[in-house]
Amino acid sequence: MTAKEELKNISRELLGYVRFLNEDDLSAEATTGTKVMKAITETKAMKAATGTRAATGTKGTETMKATPASRTPEAAKKSDNKSNSKQRQALEEIFKKVSTCRKCSLGTSRIKPVFGVGDPNAGVMFVGEGPGYEEDHRGEPFIGRAGKLLDKMLAAIGLSRDNVYITNIVKCHAMINPSNPDARGNDRPPGQAEIATCRPYLDLQIAVIRPRCIVALGSVAAQVLLGTSVGISRLRGKWHDFGAGSPDLFSGSSGIADMGIKLLPVYHPAALLRNPNLKRDTWDDMKLLHTFLSQPKSEL
């Protein structure tokens, strides 16, 4: 790399960081039926057959492995689209289960289930704690002030909601006063029993999407996914192995514990709104994510 190219890279990084800092105005089941399991199995087989895996960086989507020479680009595209369709169908089956779930009190008080949004073939999943007022009313995760900041965090490293997948540990709004779901300021953290009840739905989403990595947004998400009580300030800044502390919901090679997924804990966007001083650390974490996604899988 020439000195001029290196200077350009440094300038681009500084510009992204400045834009990131200037956002201060932004204030299951263990099994869900044969359709889900069939789609997971077929998706896994298709990915093995195509020999490709996409990861998104600052320049869009890169192919992680070369497409076999015997396959034309058109054939590869059709195969990838078919795989994407199977994953989407599987996620729709899980969503149907979530929509009718009343296994805990959150399901009876919420307005809309907040399942997830994004690319069903994403290389990275972002997982938060649970939906709030705005999300409960619209049925989409991270759409309030914290969600707008998350969008800026993604854009800073060339990502968007279109090429990642965003969801939460619990799919329904946990409220202080469940009898008044239209009241603002009615949010509370989900309880351990509620998390345990809803966790299988998340594990099913992970099994279908099969991401290369997961970004845990905030302390609750990081602790649940890593099975630890260590705080977010000690967990962030480095990669962890996902799966060791997770229940293996499936038998054989279809279980999430053996997928080799990496996990990166970061501060929740809401925490950055409360304390802008945390943005520097979060910017460093997002650069870690960008570097990871820019590398071919075989080099990790």
Radius of gyration of the chain (CA): 19
Instruction: Give the model's pLDDT for residue 83.
Output: 67
Cα 135 to chain centroid distance, Å, stands at 16
Instruction: Give the model's pLDDT for residue 191.
Output: 96
Closest by CA to 219, choosing from 151, 156, 169, is 169
Residues β-bridged to residue 167: 127
Instruction: Give the model's pLDDT for residue 85.
Output: 86
Residues in the chain, how many? 300
Superfamily classification of domain 3-299: Uracil-DNA glycosylase-like domain (3.40.470.10)
**Cα–Cα distance for residue pair 166/120, rounded to 1 Å:** 10
DSSP calls for 220-234? HHHHHHHT----HHH
Q: Which of helix, strand or coil describes residue 159?
A: coil
**Cα–Cα distance for residue pair 232/223, rounded to 1 Å:** 8
Instruction: Give the model's pLDDT for residue 72.
Output: 46
What is the residue type of 171? K
Instruction: Give the model's pLDDT for residue 102.
Output: 96
Is 53:65 a contact under the CB 8 Å cutoff? yes
Closest by CA to 154, choosing from 56, 258, 262, is 56
Q: Which of helix, strand or coil describes residue 275?
A: coil
pLDDT tens over the chain, length 300 residues: 665 565 455 445 545 544 554 544 333 333 444 555 555 555 555 555 544 443 333 333 333 333 233 334 454 455 566 668 899 999 999 999 999 999 999 999 999 999 999 999 999 999 999 999 999 999 999 999 999 999 999 999 999 999 999 999 999 999 999 999 999 999 999 999 999 999 999 999 999 999 999 999 999 999 999 999 999 999 999 999 997 544 444 333 346 777 899 999 999 999 999 999 999 999 999 999 999 999 987 555
Instruction: Give the model's pLDDT for residue 38.
Output: 57
Instruction: Give the model's pLDDT for residue 224.
Output: 96
**Single pTM value for the model:** 0.75
Backbone angles phi, psi at 140, to 5 degrees: -130, 135
Instruction: Give the model's pLDDT for residue 256.
Output: 77
